[in-house]
Amino acid sequence: MLSGLFKYSTRFTRPTLASAMCAALLCAPYSSAQDAADSSAPRAQPPAAAGQMPLPMEEVRIFAQVLNEVREAYVEPIDDKTLLENAIKGMLAGIDPHSSYLAERDFADLRETTTGEFGGLGVEVGIENGLIKIIAPMDDSPATRAGIQAGDLIIKLDDTPAQEVTLGDTTELLRGEPGTKLRLTIVRDGVNEPFEVTVTREIIKARSIRTRELEPGYGYIRISQFSANSGTEVVEALGKMQGEANAMKGMVLDLRNNPGGVLQAAVGVVDAFVTSGLIVYTEGRIANSSMRFEATADDPSHGVPLVVLINGGSASASEIVAGALQDLKRAVIMGTRSFGKGSVQTVLPLTNDRAIKLTTSLYFTPSGRSIQATGISPDIVVDRGQVTRIADSAAAYREEDLTGHLANGNDAPPTPAPAATPQPVVSADDVLVQDYQLNEALNLLKGINVLKALN
């Protein structure tokens, strides 16, 4: 999730290894400059102003000693650049599951992801107990078509054990040239043995949203991830559906298996459904990591009844949207508890092609809730399920079928059969049998409209 781009640069000379480490870690001056894309944001304070203490000399000395021992005694020569990059990777990987070092390829991949096109499998991953966990596969991606599911654990990539790679390395291994294949060994709850899946990489064109009509008057918006234009796309979709249906009766916003994305995009989606109030705020240690986002008065949704679907694959920006709409009492949240990622990562460029992704703040819902490691609890819990339609055998034989049944006293000619009801865009089997949660969301919206008519 991107909340702004800031650049910190450190320059120093390195006459010897030990003195280099002391100079770099203790004595080097910091300079701070805002990225051009965020020139209006408040300027970050240097680390000294943020109350950081100098590093203890003993630990610095040990680090330099270990580095020197590896350089001198490792079975094969390793250049200093590789050693230092590995040290940076390890330092960030040890902080939390979401901070990482972005080498040239990783940084390029991140920029591709936020702009919406990259080569790979189409999955969002994290690290859990040393294994690679699938947070969510993207819609219509090679991973989805191969049957990969949210919650799967990858224990091996081709012949590389997952325990041997960091989160940054994982991204590099998962992505690659279109047409190349990657063999994943997966552990899944409910499956007794690990199994292999071979996925062919493709150009992933991340479609931010999809829309359709469930039934006349009932719309559906699916957001697979939050890219820069997601808020604008939702507003456009609402306008189109409102125009086609004249008066929308209800809307389902589907955030299931949405791993998150750009913070401002999540704010834009919430703003499309509310007209006032705080949407989300963040708190961190430095001044420019604390932000507040308020709703604007426009209401592209025209107050249409709204149900938001979430599950364990709904993370980060998805949870911002669900939490805000829940706190502001704008929507009914349905499904299962969300993932629980309540932190914001900021990309801090180091050079033109390298950066770090660092957790700089926590976000809070309008009521002050932090969902970090707890998630959003739905208002109505609906688990995944498959429903089989059973014919009503009693209804197959009615009064009118009985021999000698009494007439109803109506001498008028038979009433012409009513005109055929327009068929839903999504078939009944699709909603009822294949997607039980969506079916329940649609039923809830219908119930809301029934209650409105009674009142």
Q: Which residues are catalytic?
A: 316, 327, 341
Nearest to 150 by CA among 159, 138, 142, 158: 138
Half-sphere exposure of 248 (CA within 13 A, CB side): 26
Cβ atoms 309, 437 nearer than 8 A: yes
Q: Could you give the CA distance from residue 239 to residue 221 in angstroms, rounded to a whole number?
A: 12
122 DSSP β-pair partners: none
Q: Could you give the CA distance from residue 156 to residue 159 in angstroms, rounded to a whole number?
A: 6
Cβ atoms 2, 346 nearer than 8 A: yes
For residue 371, give the amino acid letter.
I
Cβ atoms 23, 39 nearer than 8 A: no
Q: Could you give the CA distance from residue 423 to residue 403 in angstroms, rounded to a whole number?
A: 35
Q: Could you give the CA distance from residue 304 to residue 275 in angstroms, rounded to a whole number?
A: 13
Q: Could you give the CA distance from residue 264 to residue 286 in angstroms, rounded to a whole number?
A: 19
DSSP state of 419: P
Cβ atoms 321, 270 nearer than 8 A: yes
Listing DSSP states for 13-82 in one string gives: --SSHHHHHHIIIII--EEEEE-GGGTTSPPPPPGGGGTPPPPPHHHHHHHHHHHHHHHHHSSS---HHH
Q: How many residues does the chain have?
A: 455
Q: At 144, is the secondary structure helix, strand, or coil?
A: helix
Q: Which two tokens stand for residue 264?
A: 């401002």
Q: Could you give the CA distance from residue 20 to residue 343 in angstroms, rounded to a whole number?
A: 34
CB-count exposure of residue 427 (10 Å: 0-12, 13-18, 19+): exposed
